[in-house]
């Protein structure tokens, strides 16, 4: 991938599901590198969700970090709103450099004990707002990138794509994100646009703390394995600027390993450990055989 011209305007990014958690951290990190970041989500005021955080608070934090935050309320379950988002980006910026697909309808019931048929059926919604919504966002983002033959589409994922975590819905979501990156890369390869899936480790967020507090005996160890939500954003920035990015397109990469590759340390100088070491797992291999 050609490296962006240092004299060019600041990169334009869209981070979906950025009111809180991973999306918020990624948006702020990209802002610290000078990006203009469109922050999407549904939370506009306190009480809109069970956890704190709004798109406006994240946009302000992006600006405070050194970039420019633009809050846009988007229900990623409504395709027309997603289409309108990218039409707005195109009209206001004329381009899009980075898309981070992170929006996901994570139910608090996902981590409840029990088999999948004993949990509320509503947790399957993360295959709509989460998996399907990432396809829709990429569908509308791709033409903006293809037109300039430049760009990076990222899917936030985790090692649960290859081992059991919380049940089949969670695993299907993560595996689907990895597969989207792999197959979109095939369609994008002639246009110098890259697609990658990034496995994040446990993130130090309000949601994870809620999980730990629900059963400290079972989950307390996660507190020692966490990554800050911002770290993935710094990794994405390094990937975007890597001159060999197109050679990696289609891969699922482990965030902690990319941090080592690019010399990125988390807050307080901590170096998160790869799940390849802690869980003895690795991303699935995508075979090169193509049928069109």
What are the catalytic residues?
A: 170
Domains defined along the chain, listed by start: 12-278 (3.40.50.720)
Q: How confident is the model at residue 160, as a pLDDT?
A: 97
Q: Hunting for tokens 């991973």 — which residue is that?
A: 22
Q: What is the mean pLDDT of residues 104-123?
A: 94
Contact 230, 272 (CB under 8 A): no
In degrees to the nearest 10, what's the CA dihedral of 40, 42, 48, 52? -20
Structure tokens at 92: 């206001």
Contact 123, 164 (CB under 8 A): no
**DSSP secondary structure letters along 36-62:** EEEEEES--STTSSSS---HHHHHHHH
Task: Examine the pLDDT at 71 and tell me if it is beyond 60.
Answer: yes
Q: How confident is the model at residue 4, as a pLDDT?
A: 45
Q: What is the mean pLDDT of residues 143-163?
A: 98
Q: What is the mean pLDDT of residues 137-153?
A: 98
Closest CA to 38 of 79, 80, 97: 97
Contact 133, 126 (CB under 8 A): no
pTM as predicted: 0.91
């Amino acid at each position: 991938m050609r490296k962006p011209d240092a004299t060019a305007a600041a990169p334009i990014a869209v981070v979906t599901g950025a009111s809180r958690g991973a999306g918020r951290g990624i948006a702020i990190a990209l802002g610290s590198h000078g990006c203009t970041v469109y922050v999407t989500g549904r939370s506009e005021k306190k009480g809109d969700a069970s956890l704190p955080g709004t798109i406006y608070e994240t946009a302000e934090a992006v600006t405070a970090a050194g970039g420019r935050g633009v809050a846009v309320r988007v229900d990623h379950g409504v395709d027309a709103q997603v289409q309108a988002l990218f039409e707005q980006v195109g009209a206001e910026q004329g381009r899009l450099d980075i898309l981070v697909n992170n929006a996901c309808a994570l139910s608090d019931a996902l981590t409840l004990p029990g088999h999948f048929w004993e949990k509320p059926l509503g947790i399957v919604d993360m295959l709509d707002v989460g998996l399907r919504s990432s396809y829709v966002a990429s569908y509308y983002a791709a033409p903006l990138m293809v037109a300039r033959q430049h760009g990076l589409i990222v899917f936030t994922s985790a090692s649960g794509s290859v081992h059991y975590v919380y049940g089949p819905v969670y695993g299907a979501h993560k595996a689907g994100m990895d597969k989207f990156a792999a197959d979109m890369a095939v369609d994008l390869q002639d246009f110098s646009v890259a697609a990658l899936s990034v496995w994040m480790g446990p993130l130090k967020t309000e949601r994870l703390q809620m999980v730990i507090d629900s059963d400290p005996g079972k989950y307390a160890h996660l507190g020692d394995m966490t990554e800050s939500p911002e770290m993935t954003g710094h990794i994405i920035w390094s990937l975007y600027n890597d001159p060999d990015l197109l050679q990696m397109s289609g891969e699922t990469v482990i965030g902690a390993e990319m941090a080592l590759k690019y010399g990125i340390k988390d807050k307080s100088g901590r170096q998160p450990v790869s799940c390849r070491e802690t869980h003895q797992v690795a991303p699935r291999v995508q075979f090169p055989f193509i049928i069109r």
